[in-house]
Structure 1
């Protein structure tokens, strides 16, 4: 059954890709350029998240920040880092209902407004309690924006660019990290509290841009079809995917497939509440994979460097704040380059090969980093410390082969429309839980165990590799609807493929009629 379903979906996807005008590229089509411009506005949501993580990392190297908040250590330092994700947890019960109820755009707007207000409070903080409260609100607002923005990206994108653009979303976490890292490096010389207030204030910039421009972004055609606004959905698809031609073969195919998939959810699947995730084998398989990759993305040893670079460098003997900030900034640039490069390869190599390559190299490099780190701590070998630093960069490259670009893309691909917002909420919820544990426990465990703490992650990475090898399903070269259907068995797959095949026949006749008309016109001209 699985082989047959996969084969049918592959055939449909190939027919779908043949309907795209090969001359229509993102760089030579005015409306595709406009669409991708609006998608960039949504992509910067990830930058806000990355900015936060790197800013907290950089602030820990600023003496002015430590003085303002009385040198927080261990438990308090963990709370300062984790409180943003605790705030995110508070928003999760509401985010999917807003995304599905009032639309993707409105939900992004609400999240941006909350984050701006919270950033003002954070910048004006006069006590550690005020700073913690502001970071809680930032996490709360980020939940709404980060639930809706990537869904709107993947549901709006031109089919040829959907997977790379969605993969860029999470990769741009590093762009925010770069800005934060170099901002804290630049404000380090300010001999006042503005050394940390300036980076705090700049965190609001992406949200400010979004609240002014988000209403120019088109709404998701899938959301519009689900709300019965089919004419608007067709117009949106036609305007951006076919220069306004509602009879374009690609547009008609997309529109029919979206309608068929959503109608299937309403009439056949029916159960679209939270209980749906455990009510069928396909949905249980989805949840297992989604929870696993979300947890793996934060619990693979990357959290030590992402949030506590200065503590790791201290243990390596690199204690100068300027040097620490410089390394933090360079590492962020390196990570962004690796992640964006991988994002461009997701359709060429496929999801499984990238995930398996990533986890294998992460295991290798973290093990070698642990060996070097341990040799330096035990024997004082300075060359071993330099080797450990090099392996931090190699580990980052390995992580960014799959875990930066693909975790959001893969999660959104395998979820049907009716469960997409709730399923993506489960993904984000799992990440927040993993982050809270990481941010609260890591500084305590690292202070107690030093380099030996790395061994825990080395062993765990092997477990992750085994899971990914046996449970990850390839989704390359499928549309959103086709990918979601392969989890639901023969009924869903056959219904979708039959509708797509029937419509493909209609589209084929349309193309042949157009060609006949062109030949007739050429004959008359001759």
Structure 2
């Protein structure tokens, strides 16, 4: 879509002056609270880095009997198994109870899992606790990005939704340096303290989620149009119910959801029913798989094994390198969030994947060289390639994993589509976490060749299937996938949508000329 005039954003084909969020009282309050709500991903990042760090702690190794091979793989992947088990209830929690309740319920389960993990007396108990952590995080993950995507101002959607998944690195950074610090505690508290701190993001979310309103799209889908009107006015116009932007948003959302409810189902088969939805499904499944099965799983959970294989065996050195890597990750992943609309999704994905492929090939070559000559230069080159690899990875695959997934889906299938994306994430994580330590133990650096080939496949998929969506309001993104067949209401309605509206006797309109327009509040089916 054509870029809007500088200093403006586009909605329903019209341009409006840009809004500076920190100068706007309503947006400032909402975004500060949402900054805590998006920490769901931080819990995941904290866990990956913590598991990495714990493996470098002698007290943890001695307490749990030095797990390795398949047992170590089970320890890491059990969280993904918990998430997989929870997935059947995830979309229904978000769609029936609401986005906020989904976050709250998931956080409660995670806190219980953390408590059990912290007081573990044996490895079986520790593994069971991690299963509950995975179960809870799946439920929270199924609601958090939906609330963010559906509540933020149209101008800020790309930036804020992309930031969501980058909080993974905030959690990872805290865990990396915390385990480095607790490594100097000469007791089992060196691993119990990092475990206990894992509850902090969930506690913050449980506290702040109630300070942000429910998704206006969820409210409209459940017949609470007047309440949705109030929410949009409160968040996007400082309570001005007569704001033109609010009315355009409300009309577009209300009409689109009504058409979806009349002419499309929200069942699972809807995801493969049309050409546009099949295209969306390819993107969703590949996003989930590629985001975790691109070699990054080696570093996320088994960095100590990689370091040991290139002669870096000192635990303090491993922890310091891991901590510095997380600093780099935070800077790059967060920084790119502010360029998503300027550069575009497709260029970012293509550049990131090409760079990942190039650096991983060099990583493989340097690892092979070290295996032959034990050269320190080769080991240092591997470390350098790991850092460079993550620079490219974080250009797209970190933040856009959730932001791109959520925006390409219509409301009726958004929760289910996101669930399938996270299903692929969990499948990839399960494979990575269980198979990676076994493969590294048996074939060492040769295992990297598998990822070299696979990342090349990813580049081909991205080139042929990933499309650009920048400068497009949320409801209107359907046009990129469905063309004139897109089900879209409001001022941006397609010709087909107008025909469908005529079949049901037209859609209710909002008269902007009235001082206080009456908004339809008739109950609609969920």
Tell me if TM exceeds 0.5. Answer: yes
- Residue equivalent to 2:430: 436
Which of these residues, 477, 484, 492, is aligned with residue 483 of structure 1? 477
Q: Could you say what secondary structure the match of 2:394 adopts?
A: helix
Larger mean Cα displacement after TM superposition, 153-162 or 493-502: 493-502
Distance between the aligned counterparts of 2:469 and 2:42, measured in 1? 26
Which of these residues, 365, 374, 377, is aligned with residue 371 of structure 2? 377
Alignment of 1:214-293 (within 5 A): 214-269=209-264, 271-293=265-287
Distance between the aligned counterparts of 2:138 and 2:479, measured in 1? 28
- Residue equivalent to 2:418: 424
Distance between the aligned counterparts of 1:212 and 1:460, measured in 2? 42
- 1:152 matched to 2:147? The reply is yes
Which of these residues, 90, 104, 112, is aligned with residue 109 of structure 1? 104
Taking a change above 3 Å as real, the CA distance of residues 414 and 187 of structure 1, as seen in their structure-2 partners, is same
- Residue equivalent to 1:317: 311
Distance between the aligned counterparts of 1:239 and 1:422, measured in 2? 28
Distance between the aligned counterparts of 2:485 and 2:292, measured in 1? 36
Distance between the aligned counterparts of 2:490 and 2:11, measured in 1? 14
Q: How far off is 1:508 after superposition?
A: 12
> Do the aligned partners of 2:154 and 2:474 also contact (CA within 8 Å) in 1?
no
Unaligned runs of 5+ in 1: 1-5, 514-526
Distance between the aligned counterparts of 1:72 and 1:25, measured in 2? 52
> Do the aligned partners of 2:242 and 2:512 also contact (CA within 8 Å) in 1?
no
Distance between the aligned counterparts of 1:110 and 1:94, measured in 2? 12
Q: How far off is 1:388 after superposition?
A: 1.1
> Do the aligned partners of 1:115 and 1:204 also contact (CA within 8 Å) in 2?
yes
Q: How far off is 1:13 after superposition?
A: 7.5
- 1:346 matched to 2:340? The reply is yes
Q: How far off is 1:212 after superposition?
A: 2.5
Q: How far off is 1:89 after superposition?
A: 0.7
Give the structure-2-normalised TM-score: 0.91
Give a deviation string over 1:256-291, Cα, whole Å, max 9, x none: 11011101211122x211111122222111111100
Taking a change above 3 Å as real, the CA distance of residues 203 and 17 of structure 1, as seen in their structure-2 partners, is farther
- 1:140 matched to 2:135? The reply is yes
- 1:126 matched to 2:121? The reply is yes
Distance between the aligned counterparts of 2:15 and 2:213, measured in 1? 23
> Do the aligned partners of 2:251 and 2:490 also contact (CA within 8 Å) in 1?
no
Give a deviation string over 1:175-222, Cα, whole Å, max 9, x none: 000010111000001111111000000000111122233222210000
- Residue equivalent to 2:384: 390
Q: How far off is 1:392 after superposition?
A: 0.6
Q: Could you say what secondary structure the match of 1:14 adopts?
A: strand
Give a deviation string over 1:463-499, Cα, whole Å, max 9, x none: 1101110111111111111113432342326756554
Q: How far off is 1:16 after superposition?
A: 4.3
Aligned-residue CA RMSD (Å): 2.3
Bigger share in helix: 1
Unaligned runs of 5+ in 2: 499-508, 516-526
Q: How far off is 1:45 after superposition?
A: 1.1
> Do the aligned partners of 1:9 and 1:493 also contact (CA within 8 Å) in 2?
no
Question: Which 4+ runs in 1 deviate beyond 3 A?
Answer: 6-10, 12-22, 493-502, 506-511
Distance between the aligned counterparts of 2:178 and 2:35, measured in 1? 22
- Residue equivalent to 1:336: 330
- 1:172 matched to 2:167? The reply is yes
Distance between the aligned counterparts of 1:405 and 1:497, measured in 2? 31
- Residue equivalent to 2:10: 14
Q: Could you say what secondary structure the match of 1:319 adopts?
A: coil
> Do the aligned partners of 1:79 and 1:439 also contact (CA within 8 Å) in 2?
yes
Distance between the aligned counterparts of 1:510 and 1:500, measured in 2? 24
Distance between the aligned counterparts of 2:392 and 2:13, measured in 1? 31
Distance between the aligned counterparts of 1:444 and 1:281, measured in 2? 40
Q: How far off is 1:293 after superposition?
A: 1.3
> Do the aligned partners of 2:230 and 2:241 also contact (CA within 8 Å) in 1?
yes
Q: How far off is 1:17 after superposition?
A: 7.8
Q: How far off is 1:163 after superposition?
A: 0.8
Q: How far off is 1:509 after superposition?
A: 7.9
- 1:162 matched to 2:157? The reply is yes
Distance between the aligned counterparts of 2:9 and 2:38, measured in 1? 26
Q: Could you say what secondary structure the match of 2:355 adopts?
A: helix
Distance between the aligned counterparts of 1:15 and 1:151, measured in 2? 20
Corresponding residue pairs, total: 501
Give a deviation string over 1:14-52, Cα, whole Å, max 9, x none: 354855443x31121111100101211211111111001
Give a deviation string over 1:72-101, Cα, whole Å, max 9, x none: 000000000000010001110001101000
> Do the aligned partners of 2:289 and 2:425 also contact (CA within 8 Å) in 1?
yes
- Residue equivalent to 1:37: 32
Q: Could you say what secondary structure the match of 1:347 adopts?
A: helix
Distance between the aligned counterparts of 2:115 and 2:360, measured in 1? 39
Q: How far off is 1:313 after superposition?
A: 0.4
Distance between the aligned counterparts of 1:190 and 1:64, measured in 2? 9
Q: Could you say what secondary structure the match of 1:94 adopts?
A: helix
